[in-house]
Chains A and B, each alone.
Chain A
Amino acid sequence: MQKRFDGGPEIKRWLAGAMVFIVLAFVGSSADPYFISLMTIVLLFTFLGQSWNLMLGIGGQLSIGHALFVGLGAYSVGVLYVKYGISPWIGLFLGMIIAGSVGAALAWLSFRFEVRGIYFALLTIAAAEFARIMFSGWEFVGAMQGLFFPAPTGAIEFSMLRGGARFYYFVALALAALGIIGTELISRSYLGYVWRAMRDDEPAARALGVRTFRHKILVISVSAAAAAAGGGVLGLVQGSIFPDSIMGMGLSVDVLIGPVVGGLGTTFGPLIGSLAAIPLNHLMSAIGDNLRIPGLNNIAYGIVLILVVWFLPDGIWPAIVRLCKAIQAPSRLWLPHLRKAEE
């Protein structure tokens, strides 16, 4: 009885996760270049969505300015590589440190002065916009003209994190896998319990000895550092970095669409949400171009968001889980040994 809370379902979850990634790995080995590059973006935004999801879904802190951290990561990689020829690995590392520190500083200042909740979210927008405008006027980082990575030769250079579209697909896949494993490990560690307690009720968590001030700073810092890693790879994949696209409001919204559509605070939500939202966005913008209706993709985004919020308020992934449980429940009656194994 005492041991029932672990066991069977856990292993099933990991197996299901592994299966998803094996399928995704096969996707990378076949398929046409357009599909590969689309899926690369899906997986990158899965990872970025996971970083955002960690902050809101588990830590309870809303950011609408995640582009700030994504941009810092992209610029760290871009400036070091384009200007000095330094390996993007070092750029990624530096970007994570910078974004993590900026996130921590922003959180410290904000919570020190009791700026919380939705006001903190507004502050993240302000910080992201401030950075965007600053980078737009900063000649050293290319200002409005942006930074361009040299065109890929197609040869895979692992030490410089350079290669063709397929190479970046697998880099993105590795990031998404790391994101899922990381989210799971954090949720199961004491941080996951403490952060969720803090998310649900801060005064109650404090009364139970949770030092919420430092934990809020920590979760925001970790989320920011992860977003920077995703941003660094995103810059490499796109081949160029412009302040308006990598630090703009649009990117902040793109980051949060995946987890919101897929399921807030869930491990697989960002993947499912990105899989649903990004191809739809691309499809709709292609149709919009053909029919000469600019902005059709944004309209579609809006409609999907409304439909999801209306019919599946907790996202697509929890709905899938409920469906699977409903299907599994009767079959268990026929497999008593399975139930025994679980106990």
Chain B
Amino acid sequence: MTALLEVKNLSRSFGGLVAVKDVNFTLEAGRITALIGPNGAGKTTCFNLVAGSLSPTSGQVFFEGRQIDSTPPEIVCRMGIARTFQIVRPMRDMSVLENAMVGAFSWTKSVMEAKSKAYESLESVGLAGKANARTDQLTLPDRKMLETAKALSTRPKLLLLDEVMAGLRPTEAAGVVRVLQTLAEGGLTILLVEHVMRIVMEVASNVVVLHHGAKIAEGSPAEVVADQKVLDSYLGAGFHA
């Protein structure tokens, strides 16, 4: 197994507030890693540092051996890292299909190629049947999946998912879990920020736990939930997976 992404001593502060403090982790190709932690633990900041939306105060991020921290998000995307946003951002007056096409224009100028890639992306998240719908006609789970499809159209090697399952009912979340598992089986590496512990247990092969901006634990889901520091700071003493 080779490391697709390597985060080294990553720190970021906003004024006096240290949001991410000396974090290290690596992502193995073809696996699903989850970034968890209580509110304000620095998960989204960490995520934005990898995606290029923020520059680190210190530390580095390497993708396929190349240093990518402080690289603008559009270039990071073109290198093979796609992300979704916590707040879903469909583009108004564009259909579901057209939304999914935009990402494809990062590697092609052909509208036909973009259309067929967009269909493929929508199919892989189960939205192909709604390709011609307007985005405001979609339900919340569908909109979250559209965000994923938009990201998939950029042909990423690494997919960063920011709380794709927040606000979903268990049955809806189960559908998303199946989609993510299929994508990972297809060779895609996934990093997800997630709150719902039950889902993390189910999909992730590796879990990184952040607390007050620092990494307090890392390992398989079973190892992490047994970790005393994790139980104290995040899950609570009564947690049973």
- Which residues in A have some Cβ–Cβ distance to B below 8 Å? 2, 4-5, 188-190, 193-194, 196-197, 200-201, 203-212, 265
Contact = CB atoms under 8 A, between A and B. Distances in A.
A207 B51 contact: yes
A190 B151 CA distance: 17
Nearest to A265: B93
A209 B154 contact: yes
A190 B91 contact: no
A208 B151 contact: yes
Contact of B111 (A2, A190, A204): A190
Interface stretch (B15-23, B72-80, B202-210, B226-234): B72-80
A208 B154 contact: yes
Residue from the set A5, A200, A204, A206 with the largest chain B CB neighbour count within 10 Å: A204
17 contacts: A5-B97, A5-B115, A190-B109, A190-B111, A190-B114, A193-B105, A196-B94, A200-B94, A206-B74, A207-B77, A207-B151, A208-B82, A208-B151, A209-B78, A209-B103, A210-B102, A210-B106
Contacts of B98: 193
Band of interface residues on B? 35 or more
Contacts, number: 81
B111 A209 contact: no
A317 to B, nearest CB: 13
Contact of A209 (B74, B92, B93, B110): B74
A210 B77 CA distance: 9
Nearest to A200: B91
A211 B52 CA distance: 13
Contacts of B173: none
Nearest to A210: B74
Given A5-B95, A196-B94, A200-B92, A207 B53 contact: yes
Given A208-B154, A209-B78, A203 B106 contact: no
Interface of B: 51, 53, 72-74, 77-78, 82-83, 85, 89, 91-95, 97-98, 101-103, 105-111, 114-115, 119, 131-132, 150-151, 153-154
Contacts of B119: 2
B74 A190 contact: no
B236 to A, nearest CB: 34
A152 B85 CA distance: 61
Contact of A211 (B74, B85, B107): B74
Given A196-B94, A208-B106, A5 B74 contact: no
A191 B190 CA distance: 30
A125 to B, nearest CB: 28
Contacts of A207: 51, 53, 73-74, 77, 82-83, 85, 151
Nearest to B119: A2
A204 B74 CA distance: 10
Contacts of A206: 72-74, 77
Nearest to B101: A193
